[in-house]
Amino acid sequence: MRGGAVFFDLDKTLIEGSSAIHVGRAAYRRGLLTRGQLARDLWANVRFRLSGSTDEQSSVLRERVLDSIAGHRVIDLARLGPEVLAGILPHLYPETLTAAYEHQDAGRPAYLVTAASQELADVLARVLIFDAGIGTRSESRDGVYTGRADGPFVYGEGKAVAIREVAEREGVDLSASYAYSDSASDLPMLRLVGHPVAVNPDAALEKVARTEGWQIMRFEKLGRRLRIAGAAAAVGVLGGGGGYAFARLKPRHAWRHRVGLG
């Protein structure tokens, strides 16, 4: 064991709101989503951010995402990265980022842990100067997604599974480690480490944190919460954001023709 590490959730922990909104916007601008699909996904995302998601919904989501990217080139989806980053970076919470750097200065490697793709997790980790990203991996062959998973869906219990894999591989002492999240869905990750921290917690997580004496960081303002709810009003006007990554991609053959791949 080389000592502890620190693990950060992404949405509403490192950034305000959901990263999936920015993925959806980028996909829409590239012609991968219609305005109607974008609007429906934005509303689904608003509901998710306000009330959370069940394990059953997450399982369905995983299958939708895997099916929707099957047959698409890895490089073409990766090229959405710069536009996605341009949307995400202005919404970083400086308080959480400062905490990450303080942990690194104390000798703990910092990991970004997200249900988003491993590719996005890697890019964000490099930009934020984290030590590594832990995301959901999708199988690819010859540079094309197969539509099959290549590891756990990094949500709920899947986050804990993915973190254990990294800890075993890197020799991380989880009892000396920290984890930061906003949601009760991340209780498996938070309970995995010796030092869990609740960041702008939802009601269920705050209750657990207070009962168990965990550290609580709260800096999310009412205006930020209202902007999340108010985003629904912008659906028809601004083209909003896509709630669930690539789960609403157009049929692959139409998309391949549009970008000149087939």
- Decide: 170 and 155 in contact? Cβ < 8 Å: no
Q: How far apart are the first and last CA of the chain?
A: 50
* Amino acid, res. 1: M
Q: Check if the beta carbon of residue 242 is closer than 8 Å to that of residue 48.
A: no
Question: Cα(113)–Cα(115) distance, rounded to whole angstroms?
Answer: 7
pLDDT above 90 (res 164): yes
pLDDT tens track for 72-122: 788 877 887 888 899 999 999 999 999 999 999 999 999 999 988 888 899
- For the domain spanning 6-256, the CATH number is 3.40.50.1000
Q: Write out pLDDT tens, residues 120-159.
A: 899 999 999 999 999 988 888 898 878 787 788 888 899 9
Domain residue extents for the chain = 6-256
- Known catalytic residue at 11: yes
Burial status of residue 66 (CB atoms within 10 A of its CB: 0-12, 13-18, 19 or more): buried
Please state, in angstroms and rounded to a whole number, the distance separating the CA atoms of residues 197 and 212. Answer: 11
For this structure, is 9 an active site residue? yes
Pairing of strands 178-181, 144-149: unpaired
The predicted structure's pLDDT at residue 17: 82
Among 9, 122, 182, 202, which one carries the catalytic annotation?
A: 9
